[in-house]
Amino acid sequence: MGLWIETECGRLLVSPGEIAVVPQGFRFSIDLPDGDSRGYVAEIYGAHFQLPDLGPIGANGLAAPRDFLAPTAWFEEGLRPEYTIVQKFGGELFTAKQDFSPFNVVAWHGNYVPYKYDLQKFCPYNTVLVDHGDPSINTAPTDKPGVALLDFVIFPPRWLVAEHTFRPPYYHRNCMSEFMGLIYGAYEAKADGFLPGGASLHSCMTPHGPDTTTYEATIARVNAMAPSKLTGTMAFMFESALVPRVCHWALESPFLDHDYYQCWIGLKSHFSRIGLNETNAEQTEKKTEALE
Amino acid sequence: MGLWIETECGRLLVSPGEIAVVPQGFRFSIDLPDGDSRGYVAEIYGAHFQLPDLGPIGANGLAAPRDFLAPTAWFEEGLRPEYTIVQKFGGELFTAKQDFSPFNVVAWHGNYVPYKYDLQKFCPYNTVLVDHGDPSINTAPTDKPGVALLDFVIFPPRWLVAEHTFRPPYYHRNCMSEFMGLIYGAYEAKADGFLPGGASLHSCMTPHGPDTTTYEATIARVNAMAPSKLTGTMAFMFESALVPRVCHWALESPFLDHDYYQCWIGLKSHFSRIGLNETNAEQTEKKTEALE
Amino acid sequence: MGLWIETECGRLLVSPGEIAVVPQGFRFSIDLPDGDSRGYVAEIYGAHFQLPDLGPIGANGLAAPRDFLAPTAWFEEGLRPEYTIVQKFGGELFTAKQDFSPFNVVAWHGNYVPYKYDLQKFCPYNTVLVDHGDPSINTAPTDKPGVALLDFVIFPPRWLVAEHTFRPPYYHRNCMSEFMGLIYGAYEAKADGFLPGGASLHSCMTPHGPDTTTYEATIARVNAMAPSKLTGTMAFMFESALVPRVCHWALESPFLDHDYYQCWIGLKSHFSRIGLNETNAEQTEKKTEALE
Amino acid sequence: MGLWIETECGRLLVSPGEIAVVPQGFRFSIDLPDGDSRGYVAEIYGAHFQLPDLGPIGANGLAAPRDFLAPTAWFEEGLRPEYTIVQKFGGELFTAKQDFSPFNVVAWHGNYVPYKYDLQKFCPYNTVLVDHGDPSINTAPTDKPGVALLDFVIFPPRWLVAEHTFRPPYYHRNCMSEFMGLIYGAYEAKADGFLPGGASLHSCMTPHGPDTTTYEATIARVNAMAPSKLTGTMAFMFESALVPRVCHWALESPFLDHDYYQCWIGLKSHFSRIGLNETNAEQTEKKTEALE
Amino acid sequence: MGLWIETECGRLLVSPGEIAVVPQGFRFSIDLPDGDSRGYVAEIYGAHFQLPDLGPIGANGLAAPRDFLAPTAWFEEGLRPEYTIVQKFGGELFTAKQDFSPFNVVAWHGNYVPYKYDLQKFCPYNTVLVDHGDPSINTAPTDKPGVALLDFVIFPPRWLVAEHTFRPPYYHRNCMSEFMGLIYGAYEAKADGFLPGGASLHSCMTPHGPDTTTYEATIARVNAMAPSKLTGTMAFMFESALVPRVCHWALESPFLDHDYYQCWIGLKSHFSRIGLNETNAEQTEKKTEALE
Amino acid sequence: MGLWIETECGRLLVSPGEIAVVPQGFRFSIDLPDGDSRGYVAEIYGAHFQLPDLGPIGANGLAAPRDFLAPTAWFEEGLRPEYTIVQKFGGELFTAKQDFSPFNVVAWHGNYVPYKYDLQKFCPYNTVLVDHGDPSINTAPTDKPGVALLDFVIFPPRWLVAEHTFRPPYYHRNCMSEFMGLIYGAYEAKADGFLPGGASLHSCMTPHGPDTTTYEATIARVNAMAPSKLTGTMAFMFESALVPRVCHWALESPFLDHDYYQCWIGLKSHFSRIGLNETNAEQTEKKTEALE
């Protein structure tokens, strides 16, 4: 029920709700024991994924190294005539034939290996009083701190307890591009229209946020929110400092949502001048201030 | 009502529940407008306090720079005959007399200034699903990452939502020494005996943790805990890589708690071998394993 | 009189002799209250400008953080039908229409803001005895120390006191490309032909330096120079590790200076062998020496 | 007999078995006093070569800074009418004419200079007991530790003493591309077919290693190898994180070795299951293990 | 037969020729199953041991992480009346009594654990042609690169192949202090007098090197040395940036070697002026040279 | 005429106005060819002196590496009976006798050598328009950036051109201690009483600055200062993060200046409230402001 990924270091059984990483240069083959399957794949060049330094979170939390599982050595002996290897080089595919299995590695050591991770083992952190934070796994950083070749982020089941706070993701423009998918359940910031197996892409500096329905429902009770628990959901995000190019297959898909922007139609200002003790005209007179 | 701290950069009104920092070399005087007062003081040599890099917490959380308040410039002119300055140098106190106030700084710029912070503005982070984390402000690091000359840590009001988790601080031995105080309210890990204005010291590598009463009450319902909110409390900790020396005044105080260790009397093992599928004898046979 | 730059964080009045920076992703509009205007613009991708660490200069000098001015919050309410937003994405321009002003941000905090700086506030440093240095603002570094995506450098009014020294910029080849402009006054290294509003470009590793007139006038009195003060001038340089591509508009401009190289015609060697105690032939015999 | 390289900093006589480096931006001309010559050239953009930190090797070993030789200053005076300078800019060649020699630099200081190195001065390090290491000069690193814009590696004369070890380079796939040349002598891992003046290219992630003849001859006596000394040989490698593009001149050369892959034909498995105490079937049952 | 070290993470059987490390704060007890035992112990404060970055040695060599072995979890249940714990705090010993074993940790994870290492697994590196290097494990660095709180270094069996080289350790003065011991066999630089179980101490900046016998025997054949293999020996060194204080027990030991300095009596100069082409007088005239 | 410093790497002739550095562990002897001599000596433990990174100053300025001179090798052969070596170890002096000179090093390489520097070669940098900077050589940093074990700073001849600026050193308190000496000429901030050969010590956080006479003379013409050149002077400072302990010899010296503090008697406020548009009372009302 899942994928069998054969690699030179052994075989990984990857079930729905798990992720797997195959490092650069590995031979692998994927078997679908249950017939058709559906999932999300990202390929990066230039860096390996790594867990973030936990910083002030300290020793425990987010993704623990011990939950990343590598396979036991496994190998195939004997003749396998006309075994075809497909290799990607310089963006093109090449084939070679050989008469033995590439999965003939009897034993290995080191930590350059394929591995998998069950997303349910993630221990999310967030504010436990007020305000809004980012429960993310930051991975595969580029050379500039704070900018990533590809971050992998999840939105797992968790308690929401922030008080006097708009709890869904706030409206923002991002210097990175966000590709989002939903594995199962419902996503908190889109009241309708974002189904498991779907995906959204918000490119670099394109403003976005919750849909109108979610916004209005949330803002109405922002000062009276008890703890609530999100359950039975798993969304994720690929977030990249690079701008992804969308392929023809996706642009011409019958499932492309041409009306996506409509989810924000009807958003209106809730701002009230009450409590501001200056007119806008007075503000205009004020001079600029030093930025320390 | 608080302290008036006069400094060369202006005056700070520091109320209960606020902390103030006066950097090295500043002249200051403290006025107690309401008569007697009580508080906690730490003096460090070798580094300035600094806010931790938030790491995966991201942009918002813990102590925000904008909540640290510096005074407006304020100065005294004219003669102040026989004004006495007391200066600490090489661990001893020296006095000098002058006929003007040291608080005669008309204006200043830069960020080497005294400042204060209201502990209620702290935005605590913690797990929102399972397990146990450290809601701390890490400050004044020494040269070795992970080891601090003096960390300042608080335990403010917050929601507790960790499931299947022993929520109070776990039992531990620390390579740093922990000096703890309670400003108001009750502390979660000591069911009795830790009063506001009190202090505890657990030195380097001395094991400690919740008292027996707290432990037994908590462990009994560890798999059935709803969200609960700690309110009306503010405890703090000075945590240092140095081993503090306790002064005579404290050792001879009538308030010294000679029976402190009794809070752990009666702790007993809750461990059950059920579910372990090996005898201890079998374990002994197993050989050591490689540590990667 | 200057530019009015409206941004989501407020409005900046930028006068001649000032520079302004609008960070990535900001909406802005520019108003020219006095009709036509002329200036220099650089757009970079990949890093934000930052002030250099002052190094041995210490606490004071060059550009001070407190002289960079950010706007006061300012906003527009109400309907603005058919408001058109132009956005640059992937090198192309896109438009969107909305019925409200994008400048509707009521308040903000943080330091990701537009700002301006008056170049007259720059405090230049240089040798005060002999030799020749670089009075520069180093900004926006790339990942390699010493190499910049874009340095912004100015040549402001200042005293020249170096003795026994050729004071104008020396002849050099640069691994970075230099785009230079003159805002007002005269530039010290070009006796004629470099007017305010003009620009020069010396690409990577193209040798350049003062024109022949400046060189001959300077070298004649290099050992008898009293202090002199450059006044009433402001030149600047964009210096980049990237090689800029010149657009058609510039290449086909009637103002292109096809005879620029002529400013160096007539340069001649002032070298004299007197004082050298070896013939060239003897030199040739010497063997190479170790480079530690 | 060698090359005479004239540069603005002086002249280098570079003999066979020596390497020379001319930094970016230098004018140079090359004279072949003995007529035709043959050699290897690499041109890089983005970083300067540098010697590796020796790490645990300590103070002595590999290439010593004192063995890199820079020229003595040398210059040409007087008229040289119609002297033509060829400059590479943006990948294209440009020419300029002048009536004096560019090699007119009378004296200089600093360490941005051309230099040469005699490969025989290299002090190779390797295991002196068991196993297999990399005797390399690591140079010109890119921004990512462990990944190089261009490493320059040599295989000089040296003792081989590793016991119970397959001494030639092992079979591997490399995330960097390997361009290899042989200056004189024979290369240990190719029993035939790799001649002085030849070159091989193994691109990123293409598996390679010793030829079949070398492998079989070595594996037969792997447990009975006395110390042996490689003498009279000098091979080298350019190793780059970039994938080199092969030019038409090389692809259409009559010397291209179309049968290179044949050197590995006939490789066969020497693996024996004797001593393994599990069947493959049992292995398959084992579950994955945590990767710490 | 060895030591049994019981710890809270399990039990280590440490045999002669192995080393063990117990990290700060661990409870441990040591059992000598064979009666008396003899060994070397070092206690450090301030940092944990760590393997050096291999630098240009690359992926394989010196001590491999996989050869450091941690124990399997092991625990004691039930009553152990009057169990006495001895703890060191602030340089003094304290005792506490409890009625259960401290070795009651049922399971653990993390890598803060006791471990052991078999010195025979060390893969030494050295020159394979000429000159002299340091085959060391560098561990527990202080904050300054190149200076260690305590390095642990071994001199294991290995091939010596350096040609035209004085192979024993050269004469030197060290900014660190060297404490050396011999576990079994003979040490190459002391022809007599350094027995297994013995120890020598050469303090900071005290000159030392091989004894006279070793020196004369070696220098006589320095240009005619074939490969030779050191076998059946294991010496080690504790090398520290701190100056160790020698305790009374050692200073008053009947085994103290009062005549140690005699091993260098008789060393004489082998220097010959032949081949120097200047008199000392001429040298004196030369002026100092620039140090780049 | 100077000092002859004999070292194992050769002999240095150090003239007045030059400094010399002998690294840790070197044997040296000092000869005074002209009889009595007088100078300043500092001994540090823990780091070697190093030149500061020039930061925005760029390639040229302050102390240039090529001006630090190391000796040519020089040696003594033959018998020198009863040669006495004095060595400092652990703060005490030890002697040893030998029958040959320690200065018997025939040749050497590396850069761990004694060296000297002529202070007149220093190229001072400072503001060339307004304000006040630090013309310093920063050396021998401790582990914390900005804090030094010992900085060596000089005040050489230079032009003063800062306009609208109080040009002498401003009044300050320093977290480091300042030991100052005058080698020849007059020091700008003390109108009388600081003679060549003298020394002053301003300990950590002790306020100091120009004497009253200097202050009043300078402040009177602060807005009308033409360029002026300091000539014929050389003062220096040892500046340390450690607090120096003054020895008995100095405290009991007849040359101790018991009236030093008198140089500041008579300093008076020049502050005028004119131009301030608020009363002090109004100021007091203002609340504290956020410190970003």
Check whether D23 has a pLDDT greater than 60: yes
pLDDT band for F286, please (50, 70, 90 cuts): very low
Confidence of residue D161 (pLDDT cuts 50, 70, 90): confident
What is the secondary structure of A254-277 as a DSSP string? TT--TTGGGGGTT-------TT--
Contacts of A205 in chain C (CB under 8 A): 24-25, 87, 89
DSSP-assigned beta bridge partners for residue C236: C154, C181
CB pairs < 8 Å spanning D and E: 114
Q: What's the whole-number mean pLDDT along residues C176-202?
A: 86
Residue D67 predicted with pLDDT over 60: yes
Pairwise pLDDT comparison (E202 vs F194), residue with the higher score: E202
Mean pLDDT, rounded, of chain E: 83
Distance CA D97, CA A46 (A): 44
- Whole-number Cα distances in Å, D264 to A25, D171, D213, D215, F78: 20, 11, 9, 9, 66
Chains that touch C (3 or more CB pairs under 8 A): A, D, F
User: Is D208 annotated as ligand-binding?
Assistant: yes
> D222: closest CA among D163, D159, D172, D158?
D163
Q: Tell me the mean pLDDT in the region D213-241.
A: 88
Q: What sign does the CA torsion over E41, E46, E47, E48 have?
A: positive
Phi, psi values for residue F212, rounded to 5°: -60, -45
For residue E75, pLDDT over 80 is answered with: yes
What is the arithmetic mean of pLDDT over F3-15?
95
For the CA atoms of chain B, what is the radius of gyration?
24
Which residues of B make CB contacts under 8 Å with F?
10-13, 24-25, 47, 65-75, 77, 87, 89-90, 100, 104, 106, 111, 113, 115-116, 143
* Residue F68 with chain E: CB contacts under 8 Å: 290-291
How many residues are present in chain D? 292
Cβ–Cβ below 8 Å for C124 and F127: yes
- As a whole-number percent, the residues of chain F with pLDDT over 90 amount to 41
pLDDT at position C288: 44
Residue bearing the bigger pLDDT, F56 or C91: C91
Q: Inform me whether the pLDDT recorded for B189 exceeds 90.
A: no
Confidence of residue C243 (pLDDT cuts 50, 70, 90): very high
Question: Which residues have CB under 8 Å from C245's CB, separation 6+?
Answer: none
| The predicted structure's pLDDT at residue D167 | 84
State both tokens at D213: 């003849």
pLDDT score, position D137: 39
Nearest to B42 by CA among B179, B154, B155: B179
In the block, tokens 């060296």 appear at: F115
pLDDT at C256 over 50: yes
Say whether A258 is catalytic.
no
Rounded Cα distance, E71 and B289, in Å: 6
pLDDT at A70: 94
Least confident range from A162-171, B273-282, C177-186, D238-247: namely B273-282
What lies within 8 Å, CB to CB, of B111 at 6+ separation is: A292, B70, F291
* Side-chain half-sphere CA neighbours of D141 within 13 A: 15
CB contact under 8 A, B55 and A60: no
Which residues of chain E are at the F interface, by a Cβ-Cβ cutoff of 8 Å?
143-144, 173, 175, 203-206, 243, 269, 271, 273, 280, 283-284, 286-292
E111 alpha-carbon distance from chain centroid: 24
Rounded Cα distance, A12 and F194, in Å: 81
Nearest-CA neighbor of B7 among B69, B65, B49, B67? Answer: B69
DSSP states of B127-167 as a string?
ESSBS-----B--SB-SSTT-BS-EEEEE-SEEE--BSS--
Residue B142: the pLDDT is 46
> Residue C146: what pLDDT?
65
What is the average pLDDT score of chain C? Answer: 83
**Which of the four CATH numbers 3.40.1710.10, 3.40.50.300, 1.10.10.10, 2.60.120.10 does domain F124-266 have?**
2.60.120.10
Q: What is the nearest CA distance from E119 to chain B, expressed in angstroms?
A: 15
Q: A89-103, B272-286, C164-178, D97-111: lowest mean pLDDT where?
A: B272-286
Instruction: Determine the pLDDT at residue D146.
Output: 64
CA distance D229 to chain E (A): 9
Q: Can you give the pLDDT at residue C283?
A: 42
For chain F, the C-alpha Rg in angstroms (whole number) is 24
Has B178 been labeled as part of a binding site? Answer: yes
**Measured distance CA(C100)–CA(A269) in Å, rounded:** 10
> What is the C-alpha separation between E286 and F69, in angstroms, rounded?
13
| Residues of B annotated as catalytic (active site), given as ranges | 132
Question: Does B104 score more than 90 pLDDT?
Answer: yes
Please report which confidence band the pLDDT of residue B230 belongs to, taking 50, 70 and 90 as the band edges: confident
Query: Is pLDDT above 90 for D247?
Result: yes
Q: Is the pLDDT of residue E144 over 70?
A: no
Among F65, F113, F143, select the one facing E144 at the smallest CB separation: F143
Q: What is the pLDDT of residues E20-74, one digit of tens each?
A: 999 999 999 999 988 888 899 999 887 788 888 887 777 778 888 889 999 999 9
Lowest mean pLDDT among A122-136, B58-72, C230-244: A122-136
Q: What angle do CA A127, F291, F241 make, to 5 degrees?
A: 105
**E202 annotated as ligand-binding:** no
Summarize the confidence of residues E210-215 as an average pLDDT.
91
The residues of D assigned a catalytic role are: 132
More confidently predicted of B47 and D38: D38
pLDDT value of residue B84: 96
Q: What tokens does F288 get?
A: 């504290």
- In our burial notation (b when 16+ CB lie closer than 10 A, e otherwise), range C182-194 reads bbebebbbbbeeb
pLDDT along chain A (292 residues), means of 10: 91 94 94 88 86 79 88 90 93 93 91 92 75 43 64 87 84 90 84 85 92 90 83 90 92 92 89 63 43 41
CA nearest E141: which of E132, E150, E154, E129?
E150
User: Could you tell me the CA-to-CA distances from E93 to B264, E46, E87, F68 in Å, in that order?
Assistant: 23, 19, 6, 53
Check residue D191 and give its pLDDT: 67
List phi, psi (to 5°) of A127.
Answer: -60, 145
Contact A243 C90 (CB under 8 A): yes
Q: Which string of DSSP letters, residue by residue, matches C88-155?
A: EETTEEEEEEEEE-S-------SS---EEEEGGG-B-EEESSBS-----B--SB-SSTT-BS-EEEEE
Per-residue pLDDT band at E140 (split at 50, 70, 90): very low
Q: Are B234 and B188 in contact (CB under 8 A)?
A: no
* pLDDT on residue F39: 92
Q: How confident is the model at residue D50 (pLDDT cuts 50, 70, 90)?
A: confident
In a 3-state reduction of DSSP, which class is residue A57?
helix
Which comes out higher in pLDDT, residue C52 or D267? D267
**CB contact set of D5 (below 8 Å; sequence gap of 6+):** D11, D12, D14, D20, D22, D28, D29, D30, D31, D114
The Cα–Cα gap between B13 and B116 comes to 9
Residues A134-165 as b/e (b if ≥16 CB within 10 A, e otherwise) read: bbbbbbbbbeeeebbbbbbbbbbbbbbbbbeb
Q: Which residues of C are catalytic?
A: 132
Residues of A with CB under 8 A from a CB of C: 143-144, 173, 175, 203-206, 243, 269, 271, 273, 280, 283-284, 286-292
Query: Are A104 and D287 inside 8 Å of each other by CB?
Result: no
pLDDT band of residue D145 (cuts 50, 70, 90) is low
Instruction: Please give, rounded to a whole number of angstroms, the shortest distance from the CA of B130 to a CA of chain E.
Output: 17
Q: Please name the chains neighbouring A, where neighbouring means 3+ C-beta pairs under 8 angstroms.
A: B, C, D
Given a contact cutoff of 8 angstroms between Cβ atoms, the answer to whether E196 and E183 are in contact is yes
Give yes or no for a contact between F58 and C172, defined as CB atoms under 8 angstroms apart. no
Q: How big is the B-E interface in CB pairs under 8 Å?
A: 58
Q: What pLDDT score was predicted for residue C151?
A: 86
Please write down the long-range contacts of A39-47, taking CB distance under 8 Å and 24 or more positions apart: A39/A3, A40/A181, A40/A199, A40/A236, A40/A238, A42/A150, A42/A152, A42/A238, A44/A140, A44/A149, A44/A150, A46/A142, A46/A149, A47/A140, A47/A141, A47/A142, A47/A149, A47/D144
Lowest mean pLDDT among C72-76, D17-21, D162-166, F90-94: D162-166
> Which of residues D273 and F184 earns the better pLDDT score?
F184
Residue F259 has pLDDT above 80, yes or no: yes
**Contacting residues for D167 by C-beta, under 8 A, at least 6 apart:** D132, D160, D188, D218, D225
d(CA F154, CA F120) in angstroms, rounded, equals: 10
Which residues on F lie below 8 Å from E290 (Cβ)? 66-70
Residue B262 has pLDDT above 70, yes or no: yes
Residue of B nearest to A157 (CA): B129
Is D187 part of any known ligand binding site?
A: yes
Region for D193 from its dihedrals, namely left if φ exceeds 0, alpha if ψ lies in -120 to 50, beta otherwise: left
Average the pLDDT over F48-62 and give the result. Answer: 80
Could you tell me where in chain F the CATH 2.60.120.10 domains are found?
124-266
* For residue E1, pLDDT beyond 80: no
Q: Choose among F271, F280, F291: nearest Cβ to B115.
A: F291
* Amino acid D1: pLDDT: 66
Taking CA–CA distances from B290, the nearest residue in chain E reads E69
Return the closest-CA partner of residue A178 out of A238, A260, A243, A257. A238
